[in-house]
């Protein structure tokens, strides 16, 4: 791992690359792929995100990075513990799905109430070239499905059932604040 990966500019909604189907990575060991993974970790950590897909930094490849564990802001992802996911596939385990609020570094200022499968089984190649089969649940499954969508040229807005389920960050903070007060 290189120590000096750059922080990259994040593409935003309207950039055509966010709407493209990405290409499979043939050689995970290629230095440019390894360097790209490092730069994506640097970028998502700097942006305090929990996941980042290659199209979000302008690269049309089948790759995303995500946090290793469920966490709340600020995320605790580091260069050492983040997961790099190459050429992923997944299937739902069961049919249960749940809606919750999502945001996206490429759609600043907006949140949406998005249905996702609660439990999935993912298969992907990690940065060491190993094939990994892993189950994700709840928030982790949500992150995986959000990032996977980016690789198919989709964003979370495409999954929202009603336009009233799109709100601003400011209102989202008000809702979350109210919920947390309720819990106390
Ligand atoms: Zn996103």
In a domain, 156, yes or no: yes
In a domain, 93, yes or no: yes
Note if 147 is an active site residue. yes
In a domain, 43, yes or no: yes
Q: 147-164, pLDDT tens digit by residue?
A: 999 999 999 999 999 999
- The catalytic position among 12, 147, 180, 183 is 147
In this model, does residue 179 exceed pLDDT 90? no
In a domain, 11, yes or no: no
In a domain, 37, yes or no: yes
Rounded to whole angstroms, how far apart are CA atoms 114 and 159?
A: 6
Q: 4-50, pLDDT tens digit by residue?
A: 788 999 999 999 999 999 999 999 999 999 999 999 999 998 998 99
Q: Please report, for the domain that includes residue 26, its CATH number.
A: 3.90.45.10
Host domain of residue 167: 16-183
Q: 101-152, pLDDT tens digit by residue?
A: 999 999 999 999 999 999 999 999 999 999 999 999 999 999 999 999 999 9
In a domain, 41, yes or no: yes
Residues with Cβ < 8 Å from 56, sequence gap 6 or more?
10, 11, 18, 105, 106, 150
Residue 48 Cα to ligand 1 middle (Å):
13
How many structural domains are present in the chain? 1
Assess whether the previous peptide bond of 183 is cis (omega < 30° from 0): no
In a domain, 7, yes or no: no
Strands laid side by side in the 119-125 sheet: 51-53, 63-66, 83-92, 119-125, 131-137
pTM: 0.92
Q: What is the mean pLDDT of residues 76-101?
A: 91
Query: Residue 74 corresponds to which tokens in the numbers above?
Result: 């600020």
Residue 39 Cα to ligand 1 middle (Å):
17
In a domain, 171, yes or no: yes
Residue 159 Cα to ligand 1 middle (Å):
12
Q: What is the mean pLDDT of residues 73-98?
A: 86
Which pLDDT value is given to residue 74?
55
């Amino acid at each position: 791992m290189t120590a000096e990966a750059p922080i990259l500019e994040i593409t935003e909604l309207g950039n055509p690359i966010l709407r493209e189907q990405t290409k499979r990575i043939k050689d995970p060991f290629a230095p440019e792929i390894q360097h790209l993974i490092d730069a994506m970790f640097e970028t998502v950590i700097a942006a305090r995100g929990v996941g980042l897909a290659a199209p979000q930094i302008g690269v049309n490849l089948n790759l995303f990075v995500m946090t290793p564990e469920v966490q709340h802001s600020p995320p605790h992802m580091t260069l050492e513990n983040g997961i790099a996911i190459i050429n992923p596939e997944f299937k739902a385990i069961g049919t249960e799905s749940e809606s919750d609020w999502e945001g996206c570094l490429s759609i600043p200022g907006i949140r949406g109430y998005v249905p996702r499968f609660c439990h999935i089984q993912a298969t992907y190649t990690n940065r060491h070239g190993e094939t990994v089969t892993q189950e994700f649940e709840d928030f982790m499954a949500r992150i995986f499905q959000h990032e996977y969508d980016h690789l198919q040229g989709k964003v979370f807005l495409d999954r929202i059932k009603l336009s009233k389920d799109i709100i601003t960050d400011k209102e989202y903070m008000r809702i979350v604040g109210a919920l947390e007060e309720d819990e106390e």
